[in-house]
Amino acid sequence: MLNSKFVIAAAAVVAMSAGFWLSSQQQQQRDDISAQKQKEIAEARNNYSPIQGTILSPARKIIIPELYRDDGEKFTLDDLTGHWSLLFFGYTHCPDICPVTLGIVAQARKAATSINHMFPDVVFVSVDPDRDKVEMLADYVQYFDKDFIGVTGDKENIKALTLQMSVVYMKVPLENTAGTGSPDSSNYNVDHSSALLLVNPEGKLVAFLNPPHDANTILKDFQTVVNQNNRL
């Protein structure tokens, strides 16, 4: 009888211990799941962007190399301070992306000014300095809006600016249409980044607005970046 009671008591202790162990394992699993969820939430917050693009934090300082505006004057950091600026890198012989993007930006600017809303100064920087001379740039950008500014310079200085702005571009030779078999150095396209770059009134790069672009998204994202910049 005593042995039977002892066995029962021992079994109860074992069962209780097993219950505690199982409970602790389940709690550990719940803790692990909770920690994983918290990690996923934190990563989602870090990856979240309130715009169609990226807001830089901190803003990126810009050093302007020797470049020239489409009126022949030097383009300096003063051209990017005291007001917001929207930069786009392209070239006048661009068959599609450049004219489409500049047309959309012109629509956004027209929509903003029609209701007395602020809109950044627009600067078009050529990545094809061999063909995009000052006079050509002036005619090209003013076709879209008389207040757009064209900027160009030599290859080294264009490259120096694009490196700071995380803009990439590459010359792509086209087939010789003359049929001579020899390459034509003047017949090429330039593949290039198509993001719009926002520069704050302190002359610092603060955001990339990524394609596909449309006027409403540009206006909304610009206001979002302005509001966030004002809170800093």
Total domains in the fold of the chain:
2
What gap in Å lies between CA 69 and CA 90, rounded to an integer? Answer: 15
* Residues in CB range of 139: below 8 A, 6 or more apart: none
Q: Which DSSP state fits 16?
A: H
CA distances from 48 to 126, 227, 228 (A): 32, 17, 14
Mapped onto helix, strand or coil, the DSSP state of residue 176 is: coil
Between 42 and 64, the more confident residue is 64
Helices (H), 48-174: 97-114, 134-144, 155-164
Residues 131 and 44 in one domain: no
Co-location of 39 and 146 in the same domain = no
Eight-state DSSP code of residue 210: P
- Domain span including residue 11: 1-48
Question: Is residue 75 domain-shared with residue 127, that is, in the same domain?
Answer: yes
Parallel, antiparallel or unpaired: strands 85-90 and 196-199: antiparallel
Closest Cα partner for 202 from 62, 57, 102? 62
Torsion sign across C-alpha atoms 205, 115, 110, 83: negative
**H or E stretch covering 12:** helix 2-47
Based on the fold, state whether residues 117 and 28 are members of the same structural domain.
Answer: no
Q: Tens digits of per-residue pLDDT, 163-173?
A: 999 999 999 99
pTM for the structure as a whole: 0.77
Measured in whole angstroms, the distance separating CA 132 from the mean position of its chain's CA atoms is 25
Same domain, 31 and 71: no
pLDDT tens digits for range 62-102: 999 999 999 999 999 999 999 999 999 999 999 999 999 99
Q: Band the pLDDT of 230: cuts 50, 70, 90.
A: confident
